[in-house]
Structure 1
Amino acid sequence: MSVVALIGLGGNLGDVRSRLGAAIDALDGTPGIRVVARSRFYRTPPWGNLDQPDFINAAIAVETSLDAHGLLDALLATERSFGRVRDGERWGPRTLDLDLLAYGDTVIHDERLVVPHPRIPERAFVLLPLADIAPGAMLAGQGKVADLLAGVDSAECIPLA
């Protein structure tokens, strides 16, 4: 059995576009994961800590035979393989960030994972790339991606060629 999961990608240190592309390829080569859709890249302002470089963000949809926690483990392993060190700083600069945004229509809330990601409705840098690949996706308890995007200011998020 496979599930379609939505994953957000981002980073703001180093050659982010190349790293995001390589991370997408690495995930596509991971057993039990197949990338089925990929958004454009967006240059977006930092969130939280504003004293850092702009981010580049994207989203992918994957078909996966992994359970949600197994997929999370694969995302974290991919981050580590690209030099990401999770030092506990929230919203700080990073080489690579992979967030499991949604896992089918499953709702999970445990000590390791919350899906759908609880802050999707307030984040244009997540919603714009998601709207590229899944505008009609219904996020449990949140609504449809396209409707959520209409409710945020995305003017500072610039699609990259």
Structure 2
Amino acid sequence: MAKIFISLGSNIEPESHLKAALIDLGHHFDKLELSSVYESEAVGFDGTNFLNMVVAAETNMTIEQVVSCFKQIEQDHGRVKGAKKFAPRTLDIDLLLYDDVVSQQPIELPRAEILYNAFVLWPLAEIAPHLHHPVVKQSYQSLWHDYDKQQQSLWPIEFDWSA
């Protein structure tokens, strides 16, 4: 089984979309581990704040199958295929890590935004503090410790998981 790390984000009805995404992910992947939920300002465009989190899971799927599954879940929850990259969204699901795979195809792994987006790095460091980035060879805890926290506004929030 491969250990994967998944970034989830939403700024359109984010509470309901994160909950729905986690239910769907639970149908496809084993042993989900959840970070806290973080609120952050939109990055790259003016928009309402996002809710973000990172999920660890296990899978027997290939990278291509995982990415296809994520795209289907996004579309099932109103994400428009081919929509602008920097725009409000119901759901954004990205594969951050697939074991220690380093690749450019079929997707870039590890995902570059791990190193420059606080809304990815902080929750990843929370659930995998001692895991090492397969390229820069530093722990996520160390990377978060050294991150310029003035760069992006981000704060943990209480999140009501009840349906």
- Fold similarity call, TM over 0.5: yes
Read off the aligned partner of 1:91 and give its amino acid letter.
F
- The alignment's C-alpha RMSD in Å is 1.4
Aligned 8 A contact 1:27 1:35 in 2: no
Calculate the TM-score normalised by the size of structure 1: 0.90
Aligned 8 A contact 2:113 2:120 in 1: no
Q: Distance in 1 between matches of 2:98 and 2:131?
A: 11
List alignment gaps of at least 5 residues for structure 1. Answer: none
Q: Look up the match of 2:94.
A: 99
Calculate the TM-score normalised by the size of structure 2: 0.89
Q: CA deviation at 1:88?
A: 4.1
Read off the aligned partner of 1:5 and give its amino acid letter.
I
- Matched length: 155
Q: Look up the match of 2:161.
A: none
Could you list the structure 1 runs, at least 4 aligned residues long, displaced by more than 3 angstroms after superposition: none
Question: Identity rate of aligned residues, in percent?
Answer: 31
Question: Aligned to 1:134, which of 109, 128, 136?
Answer: 128
Q: Distance in 2 between matches of 1:136 and 1:92?
A: 33
Render the CA deviation track for 1:88-146: whole Å, top value 9, x for unaligned: 41221111000100000111212x41110012111110011112211112121133211
Render the CA deviation track for 1:14-58: whole Å, top value 9, x for unaligned: 2x122112101111112xx11431011100111111x10111000
3-state SS, counterpart of residue 112 of structure 2? coil
3-state SS, counterpart of residue 108 of structure 1? coil
Question: Aligned to 1:19, which of 17, 20, 25?
Answer: 17
Alignment of 1:7-156 (within 5 A): 7-14=6-13, 16-30=14-28, 33-49=29-45, 51-110=46-105, 112-142=106-136, 143-154=138-149, 156=153
Read off the aligned partner of 1:46 and give its amino acid letter.
A
Question: Aligned to 1:157, which of 154, 159, 163?
Answer: 154
Read off the aligned partner of 2:125 and give its amino acid letter.
A
Read off the aligned partner of 2:68 and give its amino acid letter.
D
Aligned 8 A contact 1:24 1:35 in 2: no
Which is strand-richer, 1 or 2? 1
